Amino acid sequence: MSFSSDIKHSLIDEIPSAMHCRIAELLALLSLNSECVKASTDTKKIYIKTEGLTVASKSYILLKKLFKVSPQVCVRRYKNGNESKSYRLLISKADTDSILKMYTYTDSGRLHMQGMMKLIESTCCKKAFLRGVFLSSGSVTDPSKSYHLEMVLPDEAMLHAVLHAMNAYGFEPGTVLREKRLVVYLKDSSKISDFLSLIGAGKAMMELENIKILKEVRNNVNRQVNCETANITKTVSAAHKQIEDIKQLKMSGNFDKLTPALREIAELRLAHPEASLSELASMVGDGISRSGINHRLKKIATIADTYH
């Protein structure tokens, strides 16, 4: 199972205790997965169609708890190499009547979201509503690869409802139009973690946080290694130049013109080409500092330049 699938599976048993929150979560599920059609001249019938078992299961549970409805469940299998399935929950005409007292559908069969906003006025209902939206149309990229959470929405009315709910919690998500579908997304790891915690996916939130910590530790180690590698390269390059200067002085017969202190440092550098300035200072042993060694080597370089 994918990271998103694991999250959605864990949310099946996340049932709100308050009736109004159950209404809000079912509102999201119906908005994104249901259609209301005419069964006859004066009657209507609702059915829910989804490719997600989690959506079908959660819809069934909430319909049962809210309306004492037991939809007929039909499963269709597709032989496309992946053994895909789609689920259809058929609600009887009699049960549809009780549902239509709570939710309003347009003539086209779509749930009328603009008139439904009053069902998600309270903070707790917004949370339940967002859980239903995520179950229906959300996904989260495996955090070991990147940080990205998104929910794909069918129209402006649903977009307005989702933004209204998310902004109430300070998420302020980004939006984009992708293939005529509206997408709400989060890319900040902290906001994704907070969102998962909000909708009840605590285990996934902890997993994301653990992966985030591991990635930060790995990045810090890589930065330190890169820094140390750069310092080593810099030290080796500097030492190579110092050795070339000293050899040039010897070849030109000017080495003996150096002061005893400079000759001592020069001989140490030739004997220890990979030693750092601090290591050379410890070899001199007269209390000279790293900067003192550097000063003497620079003086040798200046003298060598005069004999080029």
By the 8 A CB rule, do 67 and 95 touch? yes
C-alpha 73, offset from chain centre = 35
- Asked if the model's pLDDT at residue 308 lies above 70, the reply is no
Tell me the torsion sign for CA atoms 167, 194, 25, 35. positive
Q: How far apart are CA 246 and CA 254, in angstroms?
A: 10
Q: How far apart are CA 30 and CA 99, in angstroms?
A: 11
| Token pair recorded at residue 264 | 């001592």
Give residue 197's pLDDT.
Answer: 92
- Enclosing H/E stretch for 152: strand 149-153
- Asked if the model's pLDDT at residue 273 lies above 60, the reply is yes
| Token pair recorded at residue 25 | 């979560």
Q: Report DSSP state, residue 71.
A: P
- Asked if the model's pLDDT at residue 97 lies above 70, the reply is yes
Q: How confident is residue 210, by pLDDT bands cut at 50, 70 and 90?
A: confident
Taking only the tens place, the pLDDT of each residue in 76-94 is: 887 665 667 889 999 988 8
Q: How confident is residue 234, by pLDDT bands cut at 50, 70 and 90?
A: confident
Give residue 177's pLDDT.
Answer: 93
Q: Report DSSP state, residue 251.
A: H
Q: How confident is residue 186, by pLDDT bands cut at 50, 70 and 90?
A: very high
Q: How far apart are CA 272 and CA 191, in angstroms?
A: 54
Backbone angles phi, psi at 68, to 5 degrees: 60, 35
Count other C-beta atoms under 10 Å from residue 203's C-beta: 12
**Closest Cα to residue 136, out of 72, 58, 20?**
58
Tell me the torsion sign for CA atoms 17, 18, 21, 23. positive
Give residue 17's pLDDT.
Answer: 92
For residues 129-138, average pLDDT: 95
Q: Which domains does the chain have, with CATH numbers?
A: 3-200 (3.10.28.10), 219-306 (no CATH)
Q: How far apart are CA 301 and CA 270, in angstroms?
A: 14
- Asked if the model's pLDDT at residue 158 lies above 90, the reply is yes
For residues 42-67, average pLDDT: 90
Give residue 66's pLDDT.
Answer: 92
Count other C-beta atoms under 10 Å from residue 187's C-beta: 14
